[in-house]
């Protein structure tokens, strides 16, 4: 059955990071045919995680850490997730130092998966955490405001040339314990939406990714417009790392990894994880 063009706009939120603008670029630019209208908001991942608590968005990018507390209101779409091996956040400092020397650490948000992975690696470490935008963490280390920081996104490609030292690859620690890919973030959809609408939004997202895969030049300017790191090579490294096979469809292993993370966050009380009720369409 054909859907009529919907009168209301569906609220869509994602970050300005290159992997998200790659995923949503064709949809945002109107390059794919859709029977739905979207109202688009771009915000930092930590802000999106906070906004998800208000349940105001129909579709929103959120960390899997944040999603653990929103499974009653949201489900994850099978497309658009950032998972994989070797994609995790890094704990860095301005000098070679041991973990037990850290007293203050900067994190890119309480509900980020990066913060969860820090606690997962160091459950007994007593530190003072400071939340800040991910792009400000290196400067906070340099100025002495914090002793170390958990970095994400483009910073993992450039921290060494800026004179920082890696204390721990938090993703590698997760992988060593779980033997599973790291579930960083995904595209969540309102649980209460009509199933037919959910399916249509999912199709639009898949089509948007497919167009970007076929001809990146069509959305390249859109991605560059929002990239924090304007160097084209860094931007492409970011996309290559975070837009992978899991982005194009969750595998059985990906689902196992997400369940494992949810169970750890919820102390073994993952909401409906066994029947995959958290996975939409």
Q: For position 270, what pLDDT does the model report?
A: 44
pTM over 0.85: yes
Angle at the Cα of 188 from the Cα atoms of 192 and 1, rounded to 5 degrees: 55
DSSP secondary-structure letter at 123?
Answer: T
Q: For position 273, what pLDDT does the model report?
A: 45
Active site (annotated) includes residue 153 = yes
Kindly list the structural domains of the chain, giving each domain's residue range(s) and its CATH number in brackets, ordered by start: 9-84+182-265 (3.40.190.10), 90-178 (3.40.190.10)
Instruction: Of 230, 265, 273, 280, give the one whose Cα is nearest residue 80.
Output: 280
Neighbours of 251 (CB within 10 A): 14
Neighbours of 112 (CB within 10 A): 27
Pairing of strands 104-107, 128-131: parallel
Residues in the chain, pLDDT under 70: 1-7, 228-230, 266-276
Catalytic residue among 65, 73, 153, 238: 153
């Amino acid at each position: 059955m054909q859907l009529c063009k919907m009168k209301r706009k569906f609220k869509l939120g994602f970050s300005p990071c290159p992997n998200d603008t790659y995923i949503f670029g064709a949809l945002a630019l109107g390059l794919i045919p859709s029977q739905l209208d979207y109202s688009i908001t771009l915000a930092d991942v930590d802000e999106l995680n906070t906004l998800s608590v208000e349940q105001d968005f129909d579709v929103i990018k959120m960390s899997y850490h944040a999603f653990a507390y929103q499974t009653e209101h949201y489900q994850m779409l099978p497309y658009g997730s950032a998972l994989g091996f070797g994609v995790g956040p890094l704990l860095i400092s301005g000098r070679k130092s041991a973990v037990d020397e850290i007293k203050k650490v900067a994190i890119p948000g309480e509900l980020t998966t990066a913060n969860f992975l820090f606690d997962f690696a160091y459950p007994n470490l007593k530190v003072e955490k400071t939340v800040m935008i991910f792009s400000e963490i290196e400067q906070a280390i340099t100025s002495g405001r914090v002793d170390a920081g958990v970095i994400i996104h483009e910073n993992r490609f450039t921290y060494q040339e800026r004179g920082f030292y890696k204390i721990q690859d938090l993703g590698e620690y997760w992988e060593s314990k779980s033997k599973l890919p790291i579930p960083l973030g995904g595209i969540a959809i309102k649980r209460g939406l009509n199933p037919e609408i959910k399916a249509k939004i999912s199709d639009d997202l898949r089509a948007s990714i497919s167009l970007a895969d076929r001809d990146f030049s069509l959305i390249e300017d859109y991605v560059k417009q929002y990239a924090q790191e304007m160097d084209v090579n860094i931007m492409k490294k970011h996309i290559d790392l975070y837009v992978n096979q899991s982005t194009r469809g969750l595998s059985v292993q990906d689902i196992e990894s997400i369940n494992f993370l949810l169970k750890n966050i919820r102390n073994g009380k993952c909401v409906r994880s066994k029947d995959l009720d958290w996975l939409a369409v």
